[in-house]
Amino acid sequence: MYKEVAINPECMGHEEYYFLLKRETGYEKGRYLVADMRVWAREAFYYAKESDMSPVKKKSVTNFLNKLAKNRSNEHFAMPGDRSGLSADCWLDWWLAQCSLREFSVTLSEDHREGTICHMEVIDGSDDWEIGPSLMLRRDSVAIVDALELLLNMSKELLIVDQYFSFSSNKTLIEMCGRLERCSSLTSVHLVTAVKTADPGEVYAREYASLMPEGVSLRVTHVPDKYFHDRYMITDIGALKAGYGFKEGADQGAPSDILSVNLMSLEEVEFIRVSLKDAYEKKKAVDIFSNN
């Protein structure tokens, strides 16, 4: 449900793209602009300054770009670890190099280049841009992790809160850990579960040790049954919620074979984080394993 967005800096000579960037990207939107933020902002500034926008709008856009060029981070930008090592003399060369690594979910550009769309296509409801209110998945470990991988690739920390997401014999967690090598930005995984684990150290050695990349921490915390109701995948970049759980399940030939996943608001994410902190303070949350 998350999209890597590329925007040609030339687009910032048109106010419509400024509004798209400000209003339709970020934590709750499911889209992030992927770029070397400072380099992109400096290139975009030229086109904004030379544009035909009204003085008031031009000032808003150039002020925004000036701040980007000076800051280290911004809520609308993300840079997956596997993309960070690529550089080029201009945005187009950078974009072509990045596309050879992995296609972007959507690229905005006014030059009508193949593989790009313009703001009018966004307004017309382009499937490349749109993110539905929910995503329906088979309760299959590969399908579930496929849906999570792009989010994980942009994130540094993952918090899994799912009372039935066991540490032992969990195909989804095994599939996820097997892909962490690709998610070079991710440094920590924290599982919060109500499922008790006999000898978690032995479980880690048997099921996960060979999969975990060097430098990625894994912590497992036990909480009481039904302490958390819904199931959550929360990162520093975004968060997803499901009512039925992210663990793989056997086919029942029923609607329960389908997992429905939704984006979370920042307010709900904060509520879950505060609730977990409160559980630790009340001794209801207990760490049972850490690979550090």
Statement to judge: residues 75 and 200 lie in one domain: no
* Pair of tokens at residue 92: 């187009």
Q: Is the pLDDT of residue 14 over 90?
A: yes
Statement to judge: residues 172 and 250 lie in one domain: yes
Specify the higher pLDDT residue, 130 or 139.
130
Q: Is the pLDDT of residue 252 over 80?
A: no
> What residues pair up with 262 in beta bridges, in sequence order?
241
Radius of gyration of the chain from its Cα atoms, rounded to whole angstroms: 21
Statement to judge: residues 114 and 194 lie in one domain: no
Statement to judge: residues 73 and 22 lie in one domain: yes
Asked whether the beta carbons of 247 and 172 are under 8 A apart, the reply is yes
Separation CA 181–CA 166 (nearest Å): 22
Which of 129, 153, 187 delimits the end of a domain? Answer: 129
Statement to judge: residues 102 and 187 lie in one domain: no
Average pLDDT over residues 152-168: 96
Statement to judge: residues 279 and 204 lie in one domain: yes
Asked whether the beta carbons of 71 and 40 are under 8 A apart, the reply is no
* Pair of tokens at residue 140: 């299959």
Which of 77, 97, 129 delimits the end of a domain? Answer: 129
Statement to judge: residues 29 and 125 lie in one domain: yes
Full residue range of the structural domain in which residue 157 is found = 134-290
Average pLDDT over residues 234-261: 87
Question: Which whole-number Å values give the CA distances from 205 to 199, 211, 238, in the listed order?
Answer: 10, 10, 30
Of 23, 30, 24, 7, the C-alpha closest to 237 is 30
Statement to judge: residues 276 and 157 lie in one domain: yes
Which of 78, 105, 129 delimits the end of a domain? Answer: 129
According to the model, what pLDDT value does residue 292 have? 87
Q: Is the pLDDT of residue 159 over 80?
A: yes
Q: What is the pLDDT of residues 99-133, one digit of tens each?
A: 999 999 999 999 989 999 999 999 999 999 999 99
